[in-house]
Chain A
Amino acid sequence: MSGKISSQTGLLEMWDNLRAVPRRIVDSAFRSGKPNTDRTRSTFIFGNLFLHLHSVRVHRWSLRWTTTFGLGIVCGAAFLITLVTGILLMFYYKPYPDVAYESIKDIHFIVPTGRFIRNIHRWAANIMVVAVILHMARTFYTAAYRKPREFNWLIGMGLLVITLALSFTGYLLPWDQLAYWAITIGANIAQSPREVTDALGITERFDPGEWMRLMLLGSDVVGPVALIRFYLMHVMILPLALTALMGVHFWRIRKDGGLTRPVNADQKLSPPGGDTYPVFSEAPARTYQIAAIVKGRTSQVGNGPENTVPSMPHLFYAELGLLMLTAFLCLAFSVVWDAPLKEIANPAVPENPAKAPWYYLGLQEMVSFSAFMGGFGIPAIVLIGLGLIPFVEREESGTGEWFGGPGGWPLARNSALFGLSAAIVVEAVAIRFGWIREWFPDAPQLLITFVNPGTVLTLVYASYSVWLIRRFQSTRAGAVGLFTCFLCGFVVLTIIGAYFRGPNWVFYWSPAEWPGH
């Protein structure tokens, strides 16, 4: 055929080539052809810039639903959705006080699909926060932070902090009452080290609180400068940082040898399906392509590819399914619940009660006893503690198993019961009988700062953890106790802040009892 054409005129050949253009563009982009053999499925992945963060084959243990519940992918999917909807919102949003509020109103009432897109943005952000917290809990309870994955646990903490910061900065942008007062409170929490420097009488010379507040707001009021700063962080700095860290996070999963699995994962799995077969008869002694230059052993060494399946399609279809599920949840919630928009910001009259987004209500509850310890000290202690987990807990038993390690599930359950009851008891005392200032009106401020329900709870939890370490002779048991307790404390304080605090941050059994105002 080609011989026949080439014997014809050049014009005919050009026509033929033109007709072949679409096919040849596709061929030149995806050189390996359809991914229908093991070889082309591999090249499909490592020939693609975006896909090659994945390894070519994935262990069947990683694909079990109960290994991860897909939480990490849900985080990434939710971020992708906020990214797309966020860019769409930027078409109309104007970051200047009062004008910002009007532009959100325009988005809500006039812009085609504007309200829907804003709702999706809001819901995806909420889902992302929930998924990040659950994902961290999954990683902890399956002891997946252990060697060689310690560094990825730290990266994950960075992602948690950036996710919360993204939510916080996004909260100001609508410039409504909710936004204005939440950010006023947030900025004053940044200033709260003054509580200590004032008590020590050194604020004149050393005032880190004011410095942080000034860097955050760029002014001494929440005004145009602050709004631009929050906007810049929300749409540029934080998403870029998050994307970069996400890249490292995913890449490290691969470099650390895939997802954690128990040593006896292969025995626990059912026999492989018909499409799984041994690829090599021996485990490699070195990693393949860079064997000539790399010294030492990588995580692949000694692990044959047995019991793995090609990532294309098995892993990618699972990931696509989770993306669709996340998108479905966002859409469904957005149809039913609108993102809130209150009255325009009024610097003279605070909302009463002025509540932060739900995931900060636990903090707000602690802050209602001491701004510094609640908003600064205890979060810092929690972050440092989380970061230390993989470096202090160096045991090996139970890796990759839910509630693995000494104590197992009963320990986690008992810790949860202990954590919940301790938080409820301490809060009940503070709500029923008041706290130090109600008993001794002249108590010094330092006492009130450092002895309050938040710090008492932290101490109780820490002692419980030490007791567990002694009882089980295991740092893992102590870590499980501590992590579970803090998770439970977070839940209790968040629920109290969300449902049981009314005007003047007074305790009410239900909002129906709130005094009319």
Chain B
Amino acid sequence: MTTVSKPARSRLDPEPIPRRDMLGLAALWAAGSALVLAVLGMARLPKAAVVSSPSKRFTVMLPDSLQPGQAFLPSDRSVAVFRDQEGTWAVSTICTHLGCIVRSTPAGFECPCHGSSFAPDGTVVRGPAPRALSWLKVSAAGEKLVIDEGTVVPPGTKVQV
């Protein structure tokens, strides 16, 4: 039975953190950061890496009777196609406000949901829509047209077919 006499401590030689406390704290922090990392890792799952959506490219055949200023609306697509002397172009009919499908009218486009309206070239005339309707890429494939809803082109881009 020997008693170890502790050396006197000074400000320069402080009481060390007990070893067990140190290990315990380290373990606690390790567990905590592991949990946080695990949650972050899990949050990656719901963010889809590949977005499954129907093909955005499709082909149409414009009827010969299509007059300048008149919209051709392919079925099941949110696009209006126009043709005049300068060429052919396609305007997206998805409202830039909250995604409703705008209707083509002689004066341009009207949104049924919150009353935005657009000029024939897609610029906002009134209502809450923050942006003009997008012009979409049109290319020729023989007699037919290929329209790509996924590719936006600058307004005024008309294609001679």
Contact = CB atoms under 8 A, between A and B. Distances in A.
Q: Give the contact-size bracket for chain A.
A: 35 or more
B113 A353 contact: yes
B24 to A, nearest CB: 23
B99 A185 contact: yes
Contacts of B97: 188, 371
Contacts of A116: none
A505 B76 contact: no
B53 interface: yes
A460 to B, nearest CB: 20
Contacts of B113: 181, 185, 350, 352-354, 505
Given A199-B130, A214-B51, A441-B125, A348 B101 contact: yes
A449 to B, nearest CB: 7
Q: Name the prevailing secondary structure of the B interface residues.
A: loop
A368 B130 CA distance: 11
Contact of A187 (B54, B99, B126, B128): B99
B68 interface: no
Given A188-B99, A438-B126, A449-B130, A504 B115 contact: yes
Given A223-B53, A506-B115, A371 B100 contact: no
Contacts of B110: 504
A352 B124 CA distance: 20
Interface string A212-235: 001100111101010001000000
A314 interface: no
Nearest to A355: B113
B28 interface: no
Contacts of A353: 112-113
Q: Give the contact-size bracket for chain B.
A: 20 to 34
Q: Name the prevailing secondary structure of the A interface residues.
A: helix
Contacts of A351: 112
A441 B127 CA distance: 10
A505 to B, nearest CB: 4
Contacts of B99: 184-185, 187-188
A367 interface: yes
B51 A368 contact: no
Interface of A: 181, 184-185, 187-189, 192, 194-195, 198-199, 211, 214-215, 218-221, 223, 225, 229, 347-354, 364, 367-371, 434, 437-438, 441, 445, 448-449, 503-506
Query: What are the 10 tightest A-B residue pairs by CB atom distance, in nearest-first order?
Result: A352-B112, A368-B114, A188-B98, A188-B99, A505-B115, A350-B100, A185-B98, A195-B130, A505-B114, A504-B115
15 contacts: A181-B100, A185-B113, A188-B99, A192-B98, A198-B131, A218-B46, A218-B48, A219-B52, A221-B54, A354-B112, A371-B98, A437-B124, A504-B112, A504-B115, A505-B113
Given A188-B99, A214-B51, A437-B124, 17 more contacts: A188-B97, A211-B47, A218-B48, A220-B51, A220-B53, A223-B52, A223-B53, A225-B52, A229-B46, A348-B78, A371-B97, A371-B98, A441-B126, A448-B130, A449-B130, A505-B112, A505-B114
